[in-house]
Chain A
Amino acid sequence: GNSVTQMEGPVTLSEEAFLTINCTYTATGYPSLFWYVQYPGEGLQLLLKATKADDKGSNKGFEATYRKETTSFHLEKGSVQVSDSAVYFCALSPLIGTASKLTFGTGTRLQVTL
């Protein structure tokens, strides 16, 4: 079956530090890949997505590249801010361009300090 593995948290960084959160997946076929973010007290929000190999999703300074050869979709940001403190979830959808159930990783908590 499909699965997503994320690096364990929490990740604690100083403001303006470089962020990487690792995500690898197992899936048959060609899934779509997503990063969702959950800010304290709020629901899940879509951060970015990629639908095919070598695609780069980007939003709010965050980036992730769909790497089929390594089955990875690592999240990066060049300079984090305190406001980026949240829980980040990597997820996959087995079908491209159509609604289907998401498989999530366990989440990585990011704490950014001044």
Chain B
Amino acid sequence: GAGVSQSPRYKVAKRGQDVALRCDPISGHVSLFWYQQALGQGPEFLTYFQNEAQLDKSGLPSDRFFAERPEGSVSTLKIQRTQQEDSAVYLCASSSLRADEQYFGPGTRLTVT
């Protein structure tokens, strides 16, 4: 079946603008994760959903970052008042509840100018 998809693939925002990044997980996957990957670094955990419940948001770097998954499928990561340090690739991954393997989308590259 289809893999994890993310949109947009590239986003350029002026400093101070709000952005919304979308993730469509693999159909039937209960668990959904967001990661942030800075240039030349490994992905870092942001937040985790099990169905519509956000069970862990310990990795969100500030209260400007907000994520939701209202119907337990598609998820949106929103960043308010973007700053230059928010420039990164934002990765979404999904998995079955009883599996430790995660399947990643292609990512959204956010550039804040």
Contacts and interface: CB of A to CB of B under 8 A. Distances in A.
B63 interface: no
Interface of B: 4, 30-31, 33, 35, 40-45, 48, 50, 56, 59, 91, 93, 95-107
Interface in A75-114: 89, 91, 93, 95-107
A30 to B, nearest CB: 12
Contact of A97 (B30, B40, B42, B98): B98
Nearest to A46: B101
Contacts of B45: 101-103
A22 interface: no
A51 interface: yes
A44 interface: yes
Contacts of B48: 99-101
B43 A102 contact: yes
A87 to B, nearest CB: 9
Interface of A: 4, 32, 34, 36, 42-46, 49, 51, 89, 91, 93, 95-107
Given A43-B107, A101-B48, A49 B59 contact: no
Nearest to A91: B42
A46 B91 CA distance: 14
10 contacts: A43-B105, A89-B43, A97-B100, A99-B33, A99-B48, A99-B97, A99-B98, A101-B45, A101-B59, A102-B33
Contact of A105 (B42, B59, B103, B104): B42
Nearest to B44: A104
A109 B104 CA distance: 19
B105 A102 contact: no
A4 to B, nearest CB: 8
A49 B100 CA distance: 10
Contact of A96 (B56, B100, B106): B100
